[in-house]
């Protein structure tokens, strides 16, 4: 059965407007509710972030207090590291005379008898002193042997010692020596020689031992 709207045209228009207004109000209320929920959510998030920031600031303050308490130990550690590096540099750049003597005992010929050995560290190898270009006589050997050939062999063998360079024969002369025996005094001739050498310089200059003072 067909429905017939008996309301006048004006009433029908009015009712349609009222329904539209009601829908608009409902939509507006829904938007307000959604915005309210979004605002509450972001407000809660901001509160949580603020609380987290406060906790982080408190932890940062505690860490800064600990850092301030440990700062003297950090300075001591830095000084200890500097001292260790300096000691290491001094050890690596030291002149190993004990090793030099050991190597000398291995290369010296059997017929060669050393009488004196003098050695001095040149100024160019002292800590804090720039390397000097001039050659110096750092090690001097004096001794005796029976033949000049033994002196030449001694010079050659000294070249096997890595700490030495510039090995030079200073002199090699005949010297008469007297020896007392049961049958009387005999005179023999020996070769008196002098050999000089230089200490091989460091690859890098040795460090100084001056350290910065740490305030208590």
Structural domain boundaries of the chain? 10-94, 97-199
Predicted local distance difference test score (pLDDT) of residue 1:
52
Q: Is the dihedral of CA 151, 152, 154, 159 positive or negative?
A: positive
pLDDT tens, 91-143?
655 666 788 888 999 999 989 999 999 988 777 666 655 555 455 778 999 99
pLDDT tens, 173-210?
988 876 666 666 677 788 999 999 988 765 555 555 55
Predicted local distance difference test score (pLDDT) of residue 208:
54
Does the predicted model carry a pTM greater than 0.85? no
Q: Where are the beta strands (DSSP E) in 46-154?
A: 113-119, 139-145
| Model confidence band, residue 216 (pLDDT cutoffs 50, 70, 90) | very low
SS3 assignment, position 158: helix
Long-range contacts of 114-119 (CB under 8 A, 24+ apart): 114/141, 114/142, 114/143, 115/142, 115/143, 115/144, 116/140, 116/141, 116/142, 116/143, 117/141, 117/142, 119/199
Q: Which residue has the higher pLDDT, 1 or 161?
A: 161
């Amino acid at each position: 059965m067909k429905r017939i709207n008996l309301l006048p045209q004006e009433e029908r228009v009015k009712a349609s407007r009222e329904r539209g207004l009601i829908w608009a109000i409902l939509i507006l209320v829904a938007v307000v509710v959604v915005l309210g929920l979004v605002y509450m959510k972001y407000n809660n998030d901001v509160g949580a972030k603020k609380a987290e920031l406060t906790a982080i600031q408190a932890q940062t303050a505690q860490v800064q207090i600990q850092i301030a308490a440990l700062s003297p130990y950090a300075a001591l550690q830095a000084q200890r590291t500097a001292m260790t590096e300096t000691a290491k540099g001094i050890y690596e750049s030291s002149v190993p005379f004990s090793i030099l003597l050991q190597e000398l005992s291995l290369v010296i010929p059997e017929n060669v008898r050393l009488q004196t050995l003098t050695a001095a560290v040149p100024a160019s190898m002292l800590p804090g002193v720039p390397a000097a270009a001039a050659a110096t006589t750092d090690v001097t050997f004096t001794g005796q042997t029976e033949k000049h050939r033994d002196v030449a062999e001694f010079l050659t063998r000294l070249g096997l010692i890595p700490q030495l360079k510039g090995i030079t024969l200073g002199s090699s002369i005949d010297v008469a020596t007297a020896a007392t025996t049961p049958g009387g005094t005999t005179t023999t001739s020996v070769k008196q020689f002098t050999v000089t050498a230089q200490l091989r310089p460091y690859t890098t200059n040795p460090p100084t031992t001056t350290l910065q003072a740490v305030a208590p």
